Amino acid sequence: MTKQKFLSRKKTAQQSISIPSSLREEIIQYVKKNYEKHPEDKRFSSISAFYTTVMEKAMKCFEKGKSLEDFEQFADGEMTGFYDQFSFDALKPLYEMITETNRYTELDYEDPLMFFLRGKELIEKFIRKRDLKQVGIFLKRAEIYFARNKIASKLNFEPLYIKKKEHPGIRVEAFCIYENICFENSKFFAGIFAMLGMKVVDFIHSKKNSYFRIDAIPTDLFFNNNSAKRERLKLLDYNMSLITNYKRVVHDKDFYLWMKMAKDNGVFLDFHNEFTKKKWIDLIQLDIKKSSPPDQFLISLLKFFERLHWINIVNEKDLIFKFTLPVPNYKTKKKILFNYLSKYSKIQKMDDNYLLG
């Protein structure tokens, strides 16, 4: 005897439903368009086949506990597939802590550039005619995707209408759960806008409310089908400057400014008083001694003073260094450095350099 489950799949039944004529026409056009693109796909071979596929998929979703309200929150496969190439699962509280120090770091274009360019390719598939309405539709898809990862408690994409501007722009607004991750996402949006040829004209960020809003408008690059890579990179620099400028840096935590200044060898670190100097040098010196093999202790100690921008190591293997301090500070800092180094090694002068050992 044939199993009932098999029979239920083989048999068909007619079901009459009433739908608005506009919806019926929209479905007919959708099936027709997709059949022309994919004639081998049986789902679009007829209206009945399409209805059956949609209803089967819907019922499977309901069996898994989904509701009608969940349909609007489904992220489409193409969007998910694209981001899966560049993303990974991570513990959000841990990643939130890691991204804190990256807030005002300039982009290294080599790594994210491929992501931005691939993102541009993905978006342009849907907006080849440069129709801002199509941009809005695509951003709604992105909104649904980002809502799934729950980094933002609320994320909105909407058209931005500006007086005397022929074409509308885009506004992205987010209330965030994770402040640092969300700030990184604002940089991501600025980058995508640049690759599309859209200029960021306003950026508002509130640490207190973990909120950001970014407004962008289309430039001539938006309507240019040519790559214009150099111009888009200039626009990327500009867009990022509205987010990572020094006005924001100096109103944030001290270490953000110090991280930037540390890259300049013309800047050096000093101490307010003898107590502070001794506290920090002793602390770091003892920790280096505890955690370094005996043959690496001296070079590690030199590395510490090099990070203060007091010296420059000329030869790590032979432990040769020279002072880089300006004249007014040279004698004092030289005395401090020699005081510590002489505890562990002899110091020999070699022209403008010094040798340990």
Query: CB count, 10 Å around CB of 322?
Result: 13
- Give the whole-angstrom CA distance, residue 172 versus residue 189: 8
Residues in contact with 211: Cβ distance below 8 Å, sequence separation at least 6, in sequence order: 173, 174, 175, 176, 204, 205
Q: Could you report the per-residue pLDDT of 324-344, keeping only the tens digit for each?
A: 988 888 888 899 999 889 999
Least confident of 134-138, 281-285, 302-306, 329-333: 134-138
Q: Could you report the per-residue pLDDT of 102-133, keeping only the tens digit for each?
A: 899 877 666 666 676 777 677 666 655 556 66
Q: What is the mean pLDDT of residues 74-85?
A: 57
Q: Could you report the per-residue pLDDT of 225-238, keeping only the tens digit for each?
A: 777 788 988 999 99
In DSSP notation, 285-345 reads HHHHHHHS-GGGHHHHHHHHHHHTTSEEEEETTTTEEEE---HHHHHHHHHHHHHHHTTTS
Burial of 181 (0-12, 13-18, 19+ CB in 10 A): buried
**Is the CB of residue 116 less than 8 Å from the CB of residue 192?**
yes
Q: Looking at residue 234, what DSSP letter applies?
A: H
**Domain residue extents for the chain:** 20-68, 78-254, 274-356
Least confident of 61-65, 91-95, 187-191, 201-205: 61-65
Residues in contact with 163: Cβ distance below 8 Å, sequence separation at least 6, in sequence order: none
Q: Could you report the per-residue pLDDT of 41-53, keeping only the tens digit for each?
A: 888 888 888 878 8
Asked whether the predicted pLDDT for residue 13 surpasses 70, the reply is no
Q: What share of the chain in percent tops pLDDT 70?
A: 78
Taken in order 335, 341, 346, 347, the sign of the CA dihedral is negative
Rounded to two decimals, the pTM is 0.69
Q: What share of the chain in percent tops pLDDT 90?
A: 34
pLDDT at 259 (0 to 100): 93
- Give the whole-angstrom CA distance, residue 288 versus residue 309: 18
> Judging by DSSP bridges, how do beta strands 152-160 and 169-176 pair with one another?
antiparallel
Pick 347 or 77 by higher pLDDT.
Answer: 347
H/E segment holding residue 109: none
Q: Could you report the per-residue pLDDT of 172-230, keeping only the tens digit for each?
A: 998 888 889 889 888 888 988 888 889 999 999 988 778 999 999 989 888 887 777 88
- Give the whole-angstrom CA distance, residue 186 versus residue 173: 9
Residues in contact with 54: Cβ distance below 8 Å, sequence separation at least 6, in sequence order: none
